Structure 1
Amino acid sequence: MAAGFQRAELEAAVAGGLLFRPFRGVYATATADDGVLAAFRFNGRLTCISAAAYYNLWALRPAPALHLSCGNGVPKAGVVDHSTCTHPKHPSLPVAGLADVLLHALRCLPELDALVMVQCAAQRGDITAEYLRKKLPGKRNGRARAVLDLLIPRADSLLEILAHTHFVRAGLSVRMHVELPGVGEVDCLVDDWLVVELDGASHFEPRQIKKDHRRSRASILGGRLTLRYYYDDVVHHPQAMVAEIRAVLRLHANGGFAPW
């Protein structure tokens, strides 16, 4: 109505099926987002994992519940109610500001779920780890600050930040985005001789498959083996991935790839 629409026009749109009124004071189209409607219904703001899509942040898995910041502490079925927002909200939607979204995620989500969201925002320059760290003082925020220690300068996909975390925690010596002569840039280089590539959906395209095989051959000619892992490996079976890499490193150390 502040934009110039008259109540009679809105009522006519409802009667004609162009709009519907899910609850008092709110008019919506048939394609309205359920999360946005819920935010209006509960007089809150979408936040944490439920706000990831509105900032184009990586998300490791869909949220089993709706995450809102309502600020009244009243229990709501199917809703995780976060603390009050303290930063400027989204300019046009009932969505918390990016800083609040990430702070809520760091305090709420499993470690890796929060990590991919913060990595995505930080490497784009939308926010800094230092800013978030200052907002997380005291012992109670120690776990959240520890997630910030896992950030890397660049990750081209959530697979890269996850793989780097798993490799470092396994004690592997890994460098990311290394340029190799005749090969080009590789995702990971372990112990300076084992190439680990992390392949997303685009790597299943015929032209990309051929390019990847040529790069693998070039790696071998340069004295380096190549292992390739996919989304399912990195996200759902990281222990198996790390175990395989360790097995290859042991074979190399024991002369397993030498001629008989």
Structure 2
Amino acid sequence: MLRHIDNPAQRVRVFGRGEMLASGYSPTGLTTAVRRGAVLRPRGGAYLHPDTAQDVVDAVRVGGRLACVSELARLGVYVRDHSALHVHLHRSASRLRDLPRDARRHWRPLHRCPHPADATVDVFDAVIQAIGCQDPDDAVATIDSALHLGLLREDELDELFRHLDAGKRQLRNLVDGRSEAGTETLVRLMLRAFKVTVELQVVFVGVGRVDLVVDGWLVIECDSRAHHSDWESQRRDRRRDQALAALGYCVYRPIAEDILYRPERVVAALRGLLRRPRRRPNR
């Protein structure tokens, strides 16, 4: 039987025909398994578990590895847009005619040498590629997300930034893996323009942890539809806001849609709130 190897904590393995036969398949049985969808064969001599993500299958089909924002999105890391397929290809790759029209090709040598059977690049290389493919703020949010998820280590950051172009190295000082979502990072970066103090993941007794505290009095919670869509979640959030108000804090909840696609509205709201300094409540 083909082991399930499409684990988000791991890269996906491609099995060769010899391995499949050695695992117990007969040539006829393997052909039947492919026909029934019990085994995927994206290209001749390459086999994958049937639950393998479609982006991985497409990358293997063209003789490459899933890379950049495509691989990070598969792992749950924040990226702004992964609608195009990002594939790392060896310079001698011969199946370029099979690439989807909107695919993004990556040719540069990898810094973490993958196993020959790996269908994806290492997270370290995927992050480097994603920094080059995204705007600076989104690149920082991607790094923060990879750190928060434990897919990238703090002690790897110096090496990672050494591999970047000089213009990207200044982003190192903006990275903070305490951010639990890409939207939190983006709002934190917006706040740089206001020259305020920002605390991350602050815990209030009787309330719990909040995303950001600005200048000691403004609490910012970055809401997403996925975690705040049902009424019970909204009731819980409003009661938290009420408890914070009783302590003297003002709460602002920008929604992810505005943070990502209408940031000027969020900036305008922050400008209005921060126009006049307020007294810090006793925490």
Task: Specify whether residues 30 and 232 from structure 1 end up closer, same or farther in structure 2 by C-alpha distance, changes over 3 A only.
Answer: same
**CA distance in 1: counterparts of 2:273 and 2:161, whole angstroms:** 40
1:23–1:79 Cα change, 3 Å: same
TM-score (norm 2): 0.75
Task: Give the match's secondary structure for 2:120.
Answer: coil
Percent identity over the alignment is: 25
How far apart are residue 190 of structure 1 and its match? 1.7
Note closer, same or farther for the CA distance 1:237–1:2 as it changes in structure 2 (3 Å cut): same
Equivalent positions of 1:1-260 (< 5 A) are 1-3=18-20, 4=22, 5-14=25-34, 22-27=42-47, 33-63=53-83, 65-72=84-91, 77-82=101-106, 83-89=108-114, 93-137=118-162, 141-180=165-204, 182-201=206-225, 202-250=227-275
Give aligned pairs, total.
252
What 5-or-longer segments of structure 2 have no aligned partner? 1-17
**CA distance, structure 1, for counterparts of residue 82 and residue 262 of structure 2:** 18
Tell me if structure 2 keeps the 8 A contact 1:47–1:68. Answer: yes
Unpaired runs of 5+ in structure 1? 256-260
Tell me the secondary structure at the aligned position of residue 174 of structure 2: coil
Question: How far off is 1:59 after superposition?
Answer: 2.6
RMSD, matched Cα: 3.1
TM-score, length-scaled by structure 1 = 0.80
User: Contact 1:70–1:84 at 8 Å: present in 2 too?
Assistant: no
The one of the two structures with greater contact order (alpha-carbon pairs below 8 A, sep at least 6) is 2
The residue matched to 1:11 in structure 2 has which SS? helix
One-letter code of the match for 1:149? N
Q: Work out whether residues 33 and 39 of structure 2, in 8 Å CA contact, stay in contact via their aligned partners in 1.
A: yes
The answer as to whether partners of 1:106 and 1:147 remain within 8 angstroms in 2 is: no
Q: SS of 2:56's equivalent?
A: helix
Q: Mark the CA change 1:245 to 1:91 in structure 2 (over 3 Å): closer, same or farther.
A: farther
* Alignment correspondent of 1:258: none
CA pair 249-54 structure 1, distance change in 2 beyond 3 A: closer
C-alpha displacement of 1:95: 0.2
